Amino acid sequence: MRVAIIGYGVLAKQIESIFNIQASIIFDDFVSDAKSLNEYVNYFSDYKFIVAIGYKHLNLKSIITNDILLNGVFLKPQVHNSVFISNKTIINKGSIIYPMCNIDINVTVGYSCVINNSVTISHDTVVGNNSFIGPGVIVCGNVKIGDRVFIGAGSILTDGITIGNDVTIGSGSLINKNISNNKTVIGNPFKYVKKLNI
């Protein structure tokens, strides 16, 4: 079966390069020789999909992911061969694990997530669907991360905390308390802010 990539910015180009994937068809409204983004629904029977829509559009990514889960087929999760993953970890459909990550025992990574370079995720953690974890993030044990969460590079999430849905965490933040849905935070110690230009 051929591979279709939805979204063709830097993320898609990284995925192609890191995992040696060649797209047979591309859906992106900003690429001249690509199909329109909304045309992917006409190709479910002939392609396996990768959703390469970046962290600035996680709601759109979530809609497309759900559509593929109901009607199409994802390409198997892409995990770089330098990654350590415990044999009791679950990586769900559509997720991408970049090089040099360490994913501990009893971790669950949701659908269509991106775990960027050199991320550590400790035991018994759950990463929600369509979330994006930036390079060098450390997630300690028993952390619950909601859906459509962006965690900026170099952030640290301490043991046992819960991060709600649609949360944005700025780069270099120390998260040592729960964060409820739809919040944006940054800093060490973290503070709530209105919006980040990520």
Cα distance between residue 119 and residue 162, in whole Å: 18
* pLDDT tens-place values along the chain, 198 residues long: 699 999 999 999 999 999 999 999 999 999 999 999 999 999 999 999 999 999 999 999 999 999 999 999 999 999 999 999 998 999 999 999 999 999 999 999 999 999 999 999 999 999 999 999 999 999 999 999 999 999 999 999 999 999 999 999 999 999 999 999 999 999 999 999 987 666
End-to-end C-alpha distance for the chain, whole angstroms: 36
Name the β-bridge partners of 127.
109, 145
pTM: 0.96
The whole-number pLDDT of residue 150 equals 98
Q: How far is CA 154 from the centre of its chain?
A: 16
HSE (side-chain half, CA atoms, 13 Å) at 43: 21
Kind and range of the H or E run holding 27: strand 25-27
Measured CA to CA, the distance from residue 91 to residue 124 in angstroms comes to 13
Query: How confident is the model at residue 167, as a pLDDT?
Result: 98
- pLDDT of the residue at 8: 97
Q: What residue segments make up the domains of the chain, in order of their start?
A: 2-71, 78-188
In the structure encoding, which two tokens stand for residue 183, read together? 């919040």
Task: Output the pLDDT for position 198.
Answer: 63
What's the CATH code, domain 2-71?
Answer: 3.40.50
- Nearest in space to 144 (alpha carbons), one of 129, 160, 131, 155: 160
Give CA–CA dist 25/146, Å, rounded: 31
Common-topology check for domains 2-71 and 78-188 = no
CB environment 96-123: b (16+ within 10 A), e (fewer): bbbebbebbeebbbbbbbbbbbbbbbbb
Give the number of other CB atoms < 10 A from CB of residue 165.
19
pLDDT at residue 149, rounded to an integer: 98
- In this structure, whether the domain defined by 78-188 belongs to CATH 3.30.70.1170 is answered with no
